[in-house]
Amino acid sequence: MEGITLAALVYLAAFISSMAGIYGVMTARSIVKLLISIEILFNSIVLTASYIGVVSGADPGFYSLLLATIVLTIAEIAIVAAILILVYREKKSLSTDLLSEIKG
């Protein structure tokens, strides 16, 4: 592995995980699987952005913005999980077919 650099490995990992996230979004039949796929896709973007920040020598403002983005994602996960619990209690299913029925 003499020819492979750390940058190539990080970008390869981000590319593979983003492709896995996109595939999961396109094929998910459950709302939970859809949420997990979206989070995998988002984490690959954060991985790429953080590595670009390390390589380019970004200032602390960049990292604080990145950290704020991660915190907001955690809040979004908590809110969506609460909504999923309420939907499951009401409909007894978490199929993506329910998305067209749920309005409000």
Q: Please tell me whether residue 6 adopts helix, strand or coil conformation.
A: helix
For the residues of 75-98, what is the DSSP string, one character each? HHHHHHHHHHHHHHHHHS--BGGG
Say how far apart CA 39 and CA 42 lie, in whole Å: 5
Taking the CA atoms of residue 6, residue 18, residue 44 and residue 35 in that order, the dihedral angle to the nearest 10 degrees is -160
Residue 100 above 70 pLDDT?
no
H or E segment to which residue 63 belongs: helix 60-91
Residue 96 above 80 pLDDT?
no
Say how far apart CA 24 and CA 38 lie, in whole Å: 8
pLDDT band at 104 (very low <50, low <70, confident <90, very high): low
Q: Which pLDDT tens digit goes with each residue over 27-82?
A: 988 888 888 898 898 888 888 888 888 888 888 888 888 889 889 888 988 998 88
| Mean pLDDT of all residues in 9-33 | 89
Of 2-11, 12-21, 54-63, the least confident: 2-11
User: Which residue would you say has higher pLDDT here, 23 or 3?
Assistant: 23
Could you tell me which CATH class the domain 6-94 is placed in? mainly alpha
pLDDT at 17: 92
User: Which residue would you say has higher pLDDT here, 6 or 71?
Assistant: 71
For residue 88, give the nearest of 43, 35, 37 by alpha carbon: 35
Exposed, middle or buried, 44 (CB in 10 Å: 0-12/13-18/19+)?
buried
